[in-house]
Chain A
């Protein structure tokens, strides 16, 4: 089955099929559980988008992941003799309500500030482009050891969180922090050699 037909199939199976998958997943079947979570994710994304249409795609994805984690934590509460969707919807409603409370709390505490480009009195200190060329920086990153390069690419260039980077790279959060720290020292040394800073 190719990827496109597999993707088309997701979201088409019935409640009975979901109940059957969940029953098998409760017995520890990894494949059934993966399929169930994929099917459920499509539905969840649709539900969350319908009820929280004002959120960004990233926030919607966060909520979907919250619900998936909750589903996973309480999968023992599902009774295979009962329909699956009411069980899932009860968890979804609860997590959406929690998400709304969390959103209200954080937005009440957050203070929006302007993002200022200038941070130092010395003008040159605010212009990294004058200090290092893009090409030099790219070459320097390419010369880093693999682990350090991965850490810099994920955390600094793609701006992933430590948790996300750890999940994608397979490195621990501690290892990522160490690799980033070492990469910064190495980059500084490399760039200092090739181009004396102008500040």
Chain B
């Protein structure tokens, strides 16, 4: 064994403080969802006076919300799973089910409105506060998510960051719809759903800056080489 590798092993062994194995991805996702949910519930309770009450009597609205929440939770599980070496990437495909449910309900609502009211639902007018709300209210859950993701291995930084942002923005959108339960129009599809995907794409493009090996390897350990 080469001298420097032998020294490195000695140094690493000396610095090996006890570590607690990370919990399973779904357990970590539940933890993230709980804390982020409490934060967003507080934000929504402060904003509620500016919006409408949720339409719990509308089955399509309930299905849309359940799907959106499932996307947030599923994306969080997938994001955590991608930071565990040796995870089965095929399982990430499960996320497509809630995603299809969410896009399906929103899309179906959009088509219904189009057939009922005609082309005027295609207007570009929309409350522009939605997108900043998703971005701002999703920031705290996203930061918390990034902090948790950095405890894992940055094996697929872009995919991990994209999924993490999808979870945070999806969850923020779920809470936004609680006091913003307007009918689904093309613009709602663009601003809400499109906003979530734009934020995810932005996070994915910055993935390598957020999650990389040098940043999680302490300088002292690098110096041991």
Do A and B pair up? The answer is: yes
CB within 8 Å of B: which residues of A? 25-28, 30-31, 33-34, 37-38, 41-42, 61, 64-65, 68-70, 72-80, 82, 86-91, 94-95, 98, 163-164, 166-168, 173
Categorize the interface residue count of chain B: 35 or more
Mask: chain B, 1-39; 1 = CB below 8 Å from A; 0 = not: 111110111111111111111101000000000000000
Given contacts A76-B19, A77-B84, A77-B85, contact A38 B217 (CB under 8 A): no
Are A77 and B4 neighbours in the complex by a CB distance under 8 Å?
A: no
Q: Which residues of A contact B49 (CB under 8 A)?
A: none
B225 located at the interface, meaning its Cβ lies under 8 Å from any Cβ of chain A in the complex: yes
Chain A, interface SS category? helix
Given contacts A30-B13, A164-B225, A168-B7, contact A74 B153 (CB under 8 A): yes
Q: Which residues of A contact B19 (CB under 8 A)?
A: 26, 28, 75-76
Query: With A and B bound together, what is the CA distance between A196 and B10 in angstroms?
Result: 46
Tell me the residues in window 185-225 of chain B with beta carbons closer than 8 Å to chain A beta carbons: 213, 216-218, 221-225
Given contacts A80-B21, A95-B213, contact A167 B13 (CB under 8 A): no
Q: Which of B11, B21, B86, B152 contacts A167 (CB 8 A)?
A: B11
Known: A28-B19, A30-B16, A73-B216. 8 other contacts (CB 8 A): A41-B1, A69-B12, A69-B221, A73-B217, A73-B221, A79-B22, A82-B86, A90-B86
Query: With A and B bound together, what is the CA distance between A41 and B10 in angstroms?
Result: 13
Are A167 and B7 neighbours in the complex by a CB distance under 8 Å?
A: yes
Are A76 and B84 neighbours in the complex by a CB distance under 8 Å?
A: no
